[in-house]
Amino acid sequence: MQTTALDENWWKSWNFIYRRFLSKDIEYFDIRKDDKILDLGCGIGFHLTKFKQQGYSNVIGCDVNKNLLEECHKKGFKVVYGDMRRLNFKSNSFDVVFSYGIFHHIKEFGLALKEVNRVLKAGGYFCFIDIKPSVHRRILDFITFKLPISHPLKVRKNMLLEEKEMYDYFLMNHNRFMELFMKNFKIVWHKKGLCMDIIKALPQKSVR
Ligand SMILES: C[S@@+](CC[C@H](N)C(=O)[O-])C[C@H]1O[C@@H](n2cnc3c(N)ncnc32)[C@H](O)[C@@H]1O
């Protein structure tokens, strides 16, 4: 794992940014309440909490960071250890795989996308949210990293510095990522936000 996401300050920063600017997310996807859902890369359980608050009853989280899993466990969530490049779930297990901000933590997106494709039932959905390259993001990054900054971009800077190498890698290789995405999934809709991609997609089961 590339991030030092274990760091308490990192999570405080993420919480700060998330609560203020990013908190509307699972609402986009119109997921059925009884769907079997995997929150891939669940972290400390932001979205597990949201799923629970919104009445989703069949949700499991997985992450590579055992300490974060322990946090989720303490909060009463069902979680298991899992690396998205090689998941320990049977094929065709989930109606929905939800992932928020995790693909920019690895270089082997092809492997992870195949795994998501594999564990999804035919007709299930991949609900994907992650960063994307854009003029807006470039401006935001310029202000964050090059200008004397004040809150809240200072928080953003500290947070991004910890994962900068992977962040840059993902943005630079975004075309390749999308190519692999399209090989594994048929996009049902794509909300192109200013700085984020929000995609609902069906698995193309023939890839493997
Ligand atoms: C930016 S955090 C997002 C956490 C959570 N999805 C949220 O929205 O709060 C990225 C998460 O991806 C996890 N992660 C990184 N590499 C992973 C991998 N190979 N497999 C599964 N999870 C991974 C990290 O441990 C971390 O919890």
pLDDT digit string (tens) for the chain, length 208 residues: 344 455 667 777 777 766 666 667 888 898 999 999 999 999 999 899 999 999 999 999 999 999 999 999 999 999 999 999 999 999 999 999 999 999 999 999 999 999 999 999 999 999 999 999 999 999 989 888 888 766 667 878 888 888 899 999 999 999 999 999 999 999 999 998 889 999 999 999 765 5
Enter the pTM of the model.
Answer: 0.91
Contact 86, 114 (CB under 8 A): no
Structural domain boundaries, residue 147: 8-22+46-207
Residues across the chain: 208
Count of domains observed in the chain: 1
Q: Can you give the pLDDT at residue 185?
A: 97
Ligand 1 and 72: CB distance under 6 A = no
Picking from 136, 128, 134, the residue whose alpha carbon sits closest to that of residue 180 is 128
Q: How much distance in Å is there from the Cα of 41 to the middle of ligand 1?
A: 4
Quick count: other Cβ atoms within 10 Å of Cβ 202?
16
DSSP 25-83: -GGGG---TT--EEEET-TTTHHHHHHHHTT--SEEEEES-HHHHHHHHHTT--EEE-B
Beta sheet of 120-131, edge-to-edge order: 79-81, 59-63, 37-40, 94-100, 120-131, 196-203, 185-192
Assign residue 55 the CATH number of its domain: 3.40.50.150
Ligand 1 and 65: CB distance under 6 A = yes
